[in-house]
Amino acid sequence: MLTIRLQRMGKRKNPTYRLIVSEKARDTQYNSLEILGNYNPIQIPKVLELKADRIKYWISKGAQTSNTVNNILVREGIIEGKKRKSVTISNKRKVKIGAKKVELAEKENSKKALVEKAIAEVKTSAEKV
């Protein structure tokens, strides 16, 4: 199965990427069938050079895109469709995030209760005077 994905190039902490077509099971550093463009996210403004006709050709031949490449192509208007999630969160991390949300909600509720109690005390002391 062919896939269109990013191949990391460049120096350490200064990445540049190539859009390549290769076998899905192969390493991105191994021989690719064709280079379809390049992407430099570090440079301001970001540089993105794509061969749109070749990308459409490979997609018509059945090549799939990685999630990140799909999002780039949708953003640039080369293909139609929805963006895909490119980052996944593990179940362990989801549990931690959920616990943190519950903890924050409890803190907010306790703060509200303290504020309401203080207001009630001020009202009762004002009524006594």
| 62-83 pLDDT, tens digit each | 999 999 999 999 998 888 888 8
Please give the pLDDT value at position 116.
82
Mean pLDDT of the chain: 88
CATH assignment, 2-76: 3.30.1320.10
* Domain locations in the chain as residue ranges: 2-76, 89-129
> Residues 94-105: what's their mean pLDDT?
91
Chain Cα centroid distance, residue 38: 19
* Contacting residues for 61 by C-beta, under 8 A, at least 6 apart: 2
39-62 pLDDT, tens digit per residue, is 999 988 989 999 999 999 999 999
pLDDT band at 15 (very low <50, low <70, confident <90, very high): very high
3-state helix, strand, coil in the chain (%, to 5): 45, 25, 30
Give the percent of the chain with pLDDT over 70: 98
pTM exceeding the 0.85 threshold for the entire prediction: no
